[in-house]
Amino acid sequence: MRSEISLATAAAVERQLMLVHAFVIATKGGPMWSAVAATFDVLRALGLKVPSGRDFIERFATTILALVALPPMQLSPVQLVLLLTHEATHVAQWYADPARMPIWYLQHREKRASYEAGAIAQALAVQWALTGELPANVEELPSALAYGYDLGPEDIALARAELEQEATAIAAGILSTGPARTTIATIYREQPDALDPRALELIRVNSPGVL
Amino acid sequence: MPEQTSAEQPVAASAPSPSVPPPVDPSPGVRITQQIREALTDLGGLALAAYLVHRGAITGSHALMFALALLLPSPLLLRLAKVLGARSGSAGAGAMVAMLSASAAWAHFKSYAVLGAGVLGMAACLGGCPMPAPDNCTPFATRCSPSGIPETCSQSQRWSHAPPALPCSIRGPAVCCRTRSPWGNELYACAPPSACLPETTTDAGAEVSDAQ
């Protein structure tokens, strides 16, 4: 029988992700973040589909280059592991293309959709390794993008299509390179019974070297 | 006429000190923070200069001058301050204080100058970082790129993939091929060779449109 991820395992994942993917974690709060939140309120008033300042601080994690800022809320170990895997992917995307990634993410909606699809796919791989299941409906894959990213229906459709490609590989145990591999390997080392046995078997066969 | 209370009596100003007091040495924590900030400023400035040269926005000579301006003045001023401080007498101490103040002011100015240049650079880039030319593919069709990465055609008709994405063969014993997703749709994705569908004669591995 599978066990829930413990706090100690989540802390080990956090340490390993920070070490392997070279980023630091902070908690949102203080005058700088208040100023950013006020900017979001202004952008929202101008008609952009971005979160309110309050939501930005309290509900959204934000990655700026190699800084991951988490909202000041209590997260369960599973939520923390999935969130950190998602944000670590943005850090990896930045390291892979440091000059263009931040500009393209801000400037082009379809690029933003692709970057987010990549991060969602990494967290999805971890979720699948924990439960052995994918969302029942393909439309659920990019559901997190509907609010707060200023994306149009076609951008979300692109993210859904790219996520379906990634999910097809994940369902076969073929894991893309990136933070998901770090997270799954750490959970396997710290608490192997938290992972789904069937998913583990597929990962062993089709992603050799992860475990 | 009311009398002036003793509290309102003018107080004689103390005589000015004949010598300038030595500067207060900051605590180790403050010193380390200042050094880290200085190093980050210099690194940020150098990275910015390198990026601008790479983009062709400035010449190498300009970048060199920029780098010298970043790296030289503070250490030079600090060294001068130490030399002057080593000299006896109030004039040496006064000059040392002036040099240390100038050094701190320069470091402070540099932080804001580099930050400002970074913001301006980003603003300039936001106006001029175009996407690559369209590939004229069919929106939402999928394919395997020449390097073996599954891709989707975006609404702007450019082939796109969710980063980080590497060729399927690097992930494990997988290939990029036409296959069926867990939701029953045919698409190109990384799959074990046994899960690949036969190529149709019409698409011949080029691309497949998403049925949805």
Tell me the C-alpha distance between A190 and A201, whole Å: 18
The minimal CB distance from A176 to the residues B122, B160, B171 is found for B171
Query: What pLDDT is attached to residue B130?
Result: 79
CA-closest candidate to residue A160, choices A134, A135, A142: A142
Share of chain A above pLDDT 70, in %: 100
Half-sphere exposure of A173 (CA within 13 A, CB side): 21
**Pairing mode, if any, of strands A67-70 and A24-27?**
parallel
Tell me the C-alpha distance between B86 and B92, whole Å: 7
Judged by CB atoms closer than 8 Å, whether chains meet at A99 and B165 is answered as no
Share of chain A above pLDDT 90, in %: 78
Q: What's the ipTM?
A: 0.92
Query: What pLDDT is attached to residue A43?
Result: 86
A134 touches chain B (CB under 8 A): yes
pLDDT digits (tens, 9 = 90+) for A5-45: 999 999 999 999 999 999 999 999 888 889 889 988 988 88
Query: What pLDDT is attached to residue B46?
Result: 76
Specify the pTM.
0.72
Q: In terms of CA atoms, which chain A residue is nearest residue B185?
A: A164
Q: Is the peptide bond before A31 cis (omega within 30 degrees of 0)?
A: no
Q: In what order do the strands lie in the sheet with B159-160?
A: B159-160, B150-153, B141-144, B208-209
Tell me the C-alpha distance between B90 and B83, whole Å: 14
Tell me the C-alpha distance between A49 and A147, whole Å: 7
Q: What share of chain A is helix, strand, coil (3-state, %, to 5)?
A: 65, 5, 30
The mean-pLDDT minimum among A76-80, B7-11, B26-30, B72-76 falls in B7-11
Judged by CB atoms closer than 8 Å, whether chains meet at A174 and B54 is answered as no
- The overall average pLDDT reported for chain A is 94
Mean pLDDT, rounded, for A177-188 = 97
pLDDT digits (tens, 9 = 90+) for A79-120: 999 999 999 999 999 999 988 899 899 889 999 999 999 999
Would the pLDDT of B42 be above 80? Answer: no
DSSP sequence for A119-160 = HHHHHHHHHHHHHS---SSGGGTTGGGGSSS---HHHHHHHH
pLDDT digits (tens, 9 = 90+) for B90-101: 556 666 666 666
Tell me the C-alpha distance between B163 and A120, whole Å: 10
B187 touches chain A (CB under 8 A): yes
Would the pLDDT of B48 be above 80? Answer: no
Is residue A28 within 8 A of residue A71, CB to CB? The reply is: yes
* DSSP structure class, residue A2: -
Helix ranges restricted to H, chain B: 28-54, 60-71, 73-86, 90-126, 168-171
Nearest CA of chain A to the CA of B107: how many Å?
21
Say which amino acid occupies A125: A
